[in-house]
Amino acid sequence: MSFVRLVRLATPLLLGSAALVSAAHAAGGPPSKGEMAVEYRKSLYEVLAWNFGPMGAMAQGKAPYNAAEFSRRADRVAALAPMLTEAFPPESQAVKDTKLKADAWSNRADFDAKLQDLIDRSAALAIVAKGGDFEKSKAAFFDTANACKACHEKYKVKD
């Protein structure tokens, strides 16, 4: 594949998604680096929630426990959580269309510590989930869910 063809390929891949295009339209131009990071951030939380949800249903007894399914979702959350570390770059501070509170920027060290806590607990959850023990998996899930909650309560605007 030639470089020219790859550029043709890469451009829609990077800029052609609906969310980025709508962000660009809203601003009357191509999205800024900060806007792209916010779109990435929102997308990442969507993908996290998609995989976190079925584990939550099992942990709450709303769906039957399926050890393989639980473990697969836990692996995904553990792979996704570290991706959040690049979802809050300084350029994104100026973007208005976000539920992130300004406090996250003034308490950045605490915010980053909470994010690291999520990463650590989701890594632990993935390991526990492989063992296939429901009670242990449930406890590790709640640990992870509490890490989500600790950050949301302090740094996310309430829905």
42 is a contact residue toward its own copies (CB under 8 A): yes
Choosing from 3, 28, 29, 109, the residue that interacts with its own copies (CB under 8 A) is 3
Q: Which is nearer to its own copies, 85 or 109 (CB)?
A: 85
Q: Report in angstroms how near the CB of residue 29 gets to its own copies at its nearest.
A: 16
Number of residues that bind its own copies (CB under 8 A): 46
Choosing from 21, 63, 123, 124, the residue that interacts with its own copies (CB under 8 A) is 21
On the CB side of 68, CA atoms within 13 Å amount to 0
Q: Report in angstroms how near the CB of residue 47 gets to its own copies at its nearest.
A: 5
- Which residues does 138 contact at the CB level (< 8 Å), separation at least 6? 58, 59
Provide the H-helix boundaries in the chain: 3-15, 18-27, 33-59, 67-80, 103-106, 108-131, 134-155
Stretch that binds its own copies, among 102-110, 111-119, 123-131, 148-156 (CB under 8 A): 148-156
Nearest C-alpha neighbor of 112 from the set 94, 86, 92: 86
- Hey, what are 62's tokens? 């709303």
Stretch that binds its own copies, among 8-16, 101-109, 110-118, 126-134 (CB under 8 A): 8-16
Within a 10 A sphere around the Cβ of 114, how many other Cβ atoms? 20
Q: Report in angstroms how near the CB of residue 121 gets to its own copies at its nearest.
A: 13
